[in-house]
Structures are given as C-alpha cells and as structure tokens.
C-alpha cells in the first residue's frame, strides 16, 4: 500500500458549504448570469457556472498521473490537481506538463495532516512548504486548497483566509480509495452517478489509484459528455483568475 498514512480513511468531517458572495456583479458581457467572488477561507463545494462540473484529483503526483493527463487530453477535459509534497522532486516534468496543458495545480498541504489538530504555525508550514516547492518547480503559487480528509474547522478556515486560499470541498465523492479493484470500482461509478443526479458538481477522486485512472475516470468522462456538461477545472467557479494562482484554464 502506498503511503498508508496519506489515505483518507481515518477522519472525515465534511463541512456544509456556505456560498456567501462578498460581492455580486452583473455578469459578464452576456449579462446572463451573476458573477460571484468568494472571500478567501470560504468553504466551497459546488460550481457556479451552469452546465459545468469540476474534475479534481487528490494526493498525487504518482505513477498514474501521466496516463490520467493523456486521458483528459483525449476528452478535451481540464482538471484540478490537489497535490502533496511527496513525489514532487522526481516529477518536475509532469508538473510542468500539468501547467502547460491548462490544468490547475492546487494545494493539498505538504504532508496530508488532519489540519484542525495542528497549531497555526504548523498549518502555515504545511502550506508554505508546498508553495515554495511549486514556485521553484513551475513558478506557480496556488491559491486553491483542499483540506486532507475534507477536515476543517472555523480556525483552519481563518488561517486559510489569512494565507489567501480558497478552500474546496466536494459534492461528488467517488470514494475511489475504498474501491481500487476491478471488482469493486463499480461502486464508485454508482456513487458518482447518484451524486451527479443529486446535483453534485465538484468531483473528488485520487490519481494515486490504478482503477481510478484505468476505469473510473473513463466512465466519468463518458457520462459527463453524455450529460452535456463541460469538463472543467475549478474554473467552474466565478472567481477571478489570479495571476499567481495557477489558473490556466
């Protein structure tokens, strides 16, 4: 088993999203929709842009990430990669490919800890270590993060606000890490379809699992195409592009 301490099994605390815009503008030139701006430190688990879903992959990079990029490319899909600090040094070319191909690099903390039990200084260290690594490898500092185990507290959200991070949850949780076997991955497919039916839009999977890349993501992409949804990174949110935020989509 790979990095067992990093697997999201031990603690799960999903906080209900509070989508409170701090400003609402009449949108875009089309005038068809409102544009929202989220304050940093707000927990977000739904897309705003109608007809879009966000594909997000946690815990990489790993040996399946390259194949996942090929797959996304074949479907013309963009995704957000919430990465940890392990494996970065040996994957410079892969990180550059992610950025070059218009995907979004984002933070999943350096070492995948349960953030609510850490001190403020420890939380800041978890974020700044990864920022420094990203900046030195690809010149990008992320402004989006997903807390490991989706575990947050008001205190953690406050630190993320201070650090200038959008905090991202999920509304389609495939639980692929429980089903990484050809005989089991169908359970994640069922969960994906069910939660998509229920209006989920931010999809959580992990590119460190073979069946996620070899099976689940193919099926998810086919289903998303069939439903006529756009396959996005977190650009499914009405948040302005940050020049330093790694947005390329």
Given the rule CB under 5 A, which residues bind Zn ion?
8, 58-59, 148
- If DSSP codes are grouped into helix, strand and coil, which group holds residue 131? helix
Q: Please give the helix or strand (H or E) that residue 158 lies within, else none.
A: helix 154-163
Active site residue 209: no
Task: Kindly tell me which of 113 and 245 has the beta carbon lying closer to Zn ion.
Answer: 113
135 Cβ neighbours under 8 A, 6+ residues apart: 141
Shortest approach of Zn ion to residue 63 CB, angstroms? 17
Rounded-to-integer distance, Cα 15 and Cα 76, Å: 32
Active site residue 173: no
Nearest-angstrom CA–CA distance, 19 and 248? 24
When the beta carbons of 147 and 245 are compared against Zn ion, the nearer one is: 147
Q: Are 114 and 155 in contact (CB under 8 A)?
A: no
What's the closest the beta carbon of residue 233 comes to Zn ion, in angstroms? 17
**CB 142 to Zn ion: min, Å:** 15
Catalytic residue among 103, 112, 206, 209: 206
> Whose Cβ is closer to Zn ion: residue 98's or residue 238's?
98
- Name the residue with the smallest CB distance to Zn ion: 58
Q: Tell me how far, at minimum, the Cβ of 147 lies from Zn ion, in Å.
A: 9
CA distances 116 to 7, 38, 198, Å, are 17, 22, 29
User: Of residues 48, 58, 59, 173, which has the active-site annotation?
Assistant: 58
Tokens of 109: 């903390």
Cβ proximity to Zn ion: between 36 and 113 the closer is: 113
Instruction: Report, as residue numbers or ranges, the catalytic residues.
Output: 58, 206
């Amino acid at each position: 088993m790979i990095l067992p301490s990093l697997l999201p099994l031990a603690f799960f605390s999903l906080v209900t999203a509070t989508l409170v815009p701090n400003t609402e503008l009449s949108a875009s030139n089309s005038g068809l929709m409102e544009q929202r701006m989220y304050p940093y430190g707000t927990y977000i688990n739904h897309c705003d842009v109608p007809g879009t879903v966000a594909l997000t992959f946690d815990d990489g990079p790993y040996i399946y990430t390259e194949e996942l990029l090929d797959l996304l490319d074949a479907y013309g899909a963009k995704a957000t990669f919430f990465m940890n600090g392990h494996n970065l040094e040996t994957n410079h070319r892969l990180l550059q490919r992610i950025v070059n191909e218009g995907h979004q690099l984002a933070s999943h903390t350096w070492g995948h800890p349960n953030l609510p039990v850490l001190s403020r200084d420890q939380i800041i260290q978890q974020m700044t270590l990864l920022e420094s690594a990203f900046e030195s490898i690809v010149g990008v500092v992320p402004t989006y993060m997903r807390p490991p185990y989706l575990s947050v507290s008001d205190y953690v959200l406050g630190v993320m606000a201070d650090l200038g991070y959008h905090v991202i949850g999920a509304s389609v949780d495939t639980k692929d890490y429980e089903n990484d076997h050809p005989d089991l991955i169908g359970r994640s497919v069922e969960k994906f379809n069910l939660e998509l039916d229920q209006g989920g839009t931010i999809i959580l999977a992990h590119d460190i699992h073979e069946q996620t890349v070899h099976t689940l993501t193919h099926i998810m992409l086919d289903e998303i195409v069939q439903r006529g949804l756009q396959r996005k990174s977190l650009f499914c949110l009405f948040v302005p592009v940050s020049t330093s935020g790694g947005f390329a989509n």
